[in-house]
Amino acid sequence: MINILENISLKHYNTFGIDIKARYFVKVRCIDDLTALLQTKHFQENRRIIIGGGSNLLFRHDFQGIIILVEIKGVHYQGSTQSSTILKVGAGENWNEFVELCVKNRLYGIENLVYIPGKVGAAPVQNIGAYGVEQKDFLHKVEYFDISTGKIVILHQAECKFDYRSSIFKNELEDKAIITNVYYELSREWKPNINYKDIKQELDKFTFVEPDAEYVMNTVKRVRKNKLPAPSDIGNAGSFFKNPVVDEQYFYTLKEKYPDIPYFQLDNQYKIPAAYLIEKCGWKGYRSGNCGVYDHHSLILVNYGNASGEEIFQLSENIRQSVQDEFGILLEREVIVVE
């Protein structure tokens, strides 16, 4: 049974904590709910946004369409081989709880992705990643509800066009697919992935010889707690911008001017931390009224209390402009801006 509500505040449905209203709001708990929703005029005649935890969204204004909150639950065992196990996970499951469940059940691979806010259904959308792991590395297939036909479709890993913070769901299938279940294939053999600098440094502080998965997961939690603001304390949506990638020639032009520029080499291209560029432009710790740039991490824009979506958006535009003026690089947003 679906219940379409009207004029609902989204303050508790977006981690920026922006108090804007949605014209219509509906929770869906199963595929029958989606089938029923498809028949309604609220769905057919309005703009639609699908949300999970609202931790990668910035609403600029009141939203005049329908918000669809996916609450499909359940983690179901699908079978094992000697080396792996497949789980079918409802799109409405909490991502962090799913990671912890896997570690508890000795299913490995995604422990570095602990503490990423949001729901499982959103994880393939921007192909979440952290500390040297992306969810695509363990994704088996995605099940989605096709809005144009009302049918369930399966896409295997290779068909999802995963890339750095991107997938088919952010491009060709944007507004066309409602992810209902995600299948992950976890490893039954523990192989730590601890080469990422921040994790390695934290592990090296202690004389532990062979960290197990729980130990690595707790290390990631500690690193994240020190670095990232919890949305329950201060409104934010994690990294606001993607790290830009430039070609070799341009990288060396930049390096001449900024010898300390950090980078990560990808064949003939260079990924540069957006945080460095923003910090160099003097934004770290900047505050204007109700919003600003987090003082421990310049990639994170924060709502100190009553910021409007428009204020945060304008701040992000000012940052983009100054980075472009200084470095000739136009930062791309990681956060999805809802107009």
Ligand X SMILES: Cc1cc2nc3c(=O)[nH]c(=O)nc-3n(C[C@H](O)[C@H](O)[C@H](O)COP(=O)(O)OP(=O)(O)OC[C@H]3O[C@@H](n4cnc5c(N)ncnc54)[C@H](O)[C@@H]3O)c2cc1C
Query: Any contact of residue 319 with ligand X (CB under 6 A)?
Result: no
Catalytic: which of 165, 308, 311, 316? 165
Active site residue 222: no
* Strands 63-70 and 48-51, bridge-based pairing: parallel
Considering only residues 83 through 102, tell me which ones interact with ligand X, judged by CB under 6 A. 91
List the one residue from 22, 28, 37, 51 that touches ligand X (CB under 6 A): 51
Catalytic: which of 55, 167, 239, 298? 239
CB 40 within 8 A of CB 21: no
CB of 88 to ligand X, least distance (A): 14
Instruction: At 75, give phi and psi (nearest 5°).
Output: -125, 115
Q: Provide DSSP, 248-274.
A: HHHHHHHHHH-TT---EEETTEEE--H
Query: Any contact of residue 34 with ligand X (CB under 6 A)?
Result: no
Active site residue 93: no
Selected range binding ligand X among 127-135, 272-280, 291-299, 325-333, rule: CB under 6 A:
127-135
Considering only residues 103 through 122, tell me which ones interact with ligand X, judged by CB under 6 A. 116-119, 121-122
Query: Any contact of residue 235 with ligand X (CB under 6 A)?
Result: no
230: which 2 tokens? 């919890």
Sign of CA dihedral 89, 94, 99, 100: negative
Query: Any contact of residue 123 with ligand X (CB under 6 A)?
Result: yes
For ligand X, the closer of residues 155 and 178 by Cβ is: 178
For ligand X, the closer of residues 254 and 334 by Cβ is: 334
Considering only residues 287 through 306, tell me which ones interact with ligand X, judged by CB under 6 A. none
Alpha-carbon distance of 125 to 144, in angstroms, equals 12
Active site residue 239: yes
Considering only residues 153 through 182, tell me which ones interact with ligand X, judged by CB under 6 A. 169, 177-179
* E-assigned strand segments in the chain: 5-9, 21-28, 48-51, 57-59, 63-70, 75-80, 84-90, 129-130, 133-134, 139-146, 151-156, 177-187, 235-239, 245-247, 264-266, 269-271, 287-288, 291-293, 300-303, 336-338
CB of 56 to ligand X, least distance (A): 3
Query: Any contact of residue 277 with ligand X (CB under 6 A)?
Result: no
Residues 6+ apart with CB under 8 A from 53: 15, 94, 95, 117, 118, 119, 122
Query: Any contact of residue 309 with ligand X (CB under 6 A)?
Result: no
- Give the interface with ligand X as residue ranges (CB under 6 A): 15, 49-57, 70, 91, 116-119, 121-123, 125-126, 128-130, 169, 177-179, 228, 231, 236-238, 336
Which residues belong to the active site?
165, 239, 334
